[in-house]
Amino acid sequence: MENIKLILKSSTYYPKSLLTLKQPPEFLLAIGNIDLLNTFSIGIVGARACTTQSILLTKQLVNELCNRNITILSGMADGIDCIAHETCIEAHGKTIAVIGSGFDIAEKRRIFSNILDNDGLILSEYFPDIPAFPYNFPRRNQILVSLAKSIIAVEIHIKSGTMITAEEALKQRVPLFTFPGDIYDKKYHGNNLLLTRGAFCINSYLDIIDKLKKIYPTQNFSSTHSSTPHIKIPTEFQKIYAIIEEAPQDINTIARKFNLPLKNLQSQLTLMELENIIYKRQNIYYIYNK
């Protein structure tokens, strides 16, 4: 593979944060825009088999961060990782992938070329022909966490690579954010456990910027959008929108007022969230950017 750059410890591009590791990598292999190593980056990680809610949260988070010129860092795994990279690209943002194999193995995936075609960066500690051995990934996670200013863990199963990454963030004292989840849903048991171990709690993607401003007071988090564009509400959503516009509502109240079965209403509300018309915080629906 052409255009692979070797970044030695002596290089000005070698991230100084990696030197805090007990065993810093002797070198990194990079392909793409290595100038991204000098940008403010936040890691987003989560489950491979992820829920619709987690996908929505990831897209909202990435759009919010890209809107503030923050580089999105992830691991190019299926699920939340790839959604984070792809949403960043769609938002014309900057993204870095840290992978647990060599480039020759990873380039077979569509997301690999998509990142590079959009001025992104892919990093590895492994030579191009090294397969994605399971024991590569704890080390990959160490590097990913060390490069990030913060880590956001969206959906965390107890026994998962995401849990290992989140625990690595706590170990390295890199600020870790996560969302509280349903205590009866095992998909979110890791989220709730990490909140007892020192992770910052965020109830909505809108909370993240406020939290980051407090942790990094000298960083500019200004939005690149000078004003909020007018949202045109599609006809099929207007009645629901009108109910929520009166005051924030829970789904049962909306269903009662709208006289619609919960199952049908839930799909409508999810579509409205995906269109950034409304957002949900602790099971209450609000008008977006009102």
- Name the percent of the chain lying above pLDDT 90: 55
| 233 has a pLDDT exceeding 90 | no
Q: Is 220 a domain residue?
A: no
- Residue 247 and residue 180 share a domain: no
Q: Which of 160, 183, 215 is the last residue of a domain?
A: 215
CATH number at residue 138: 3.40.50.450
- Residue 193 and residue 95 share a domain: yes
| 232 has a pLDDT exceeding 60 | yes
Rounded to an integer, the average pLDDT of 191-203 is: 91
Number of domains in the chain: 2
**69 vs 188, higher pLDDT:** 69
| 239 has a pLDDT exceeding 80 | yes
Q: Is 222 a domain residue?
A: no
- Residue 146 and residue 271 share a domain: no
CATH number at residue 260: 1.10.10.10
**75 vs 286, higher pLDDT:** 75
- Give the per-residue pLDDT at 226: 45
Could you list the residue range(s) of the whole structural domain that residue 121 is in?
A: 5-215
Q: Is 228 a domain residue?
A: no
- Residue 83 and residue 27 share a domain: yes
Q: pLDDT tens across 111-149, in order?
A: 999 999 999 999 999 999 999 888 899 999 999 999 999
- Residue 239 and residue 115 share a domain: no
Q: Is 226 a domain residue?
A: no
- Residue 253 and residue 133 share a domain: no
Confidence of residue 55 (pLDDT cuts 50, 70, 90): confident
pTM of the model: 0.79
Mean pLDDT, rounded, of the chain = 88
Rounded to an integer, the average pLDDT of 233-259 is: 83
- Residue 246 and residue 127 share a domain: no
265-290 b/e (C-beta count within 10 Å ≥ 16 → b):
beebbeebbeeebbbbeeeebbbbee
- Residue 18 and residue 104 share a domain: yes
Rounded to an integer, the average pLDDT of 153-170 is: 91
Q: What span, in angstroms and rounded, lies between the C-alpha atoms of 92 and 117? A: 12
Q: What span, in angstroms and rounded, lies between the C-alpha atoms of 153 and 163? A: 8
Q: Is 133 a domain residue?
A: yes
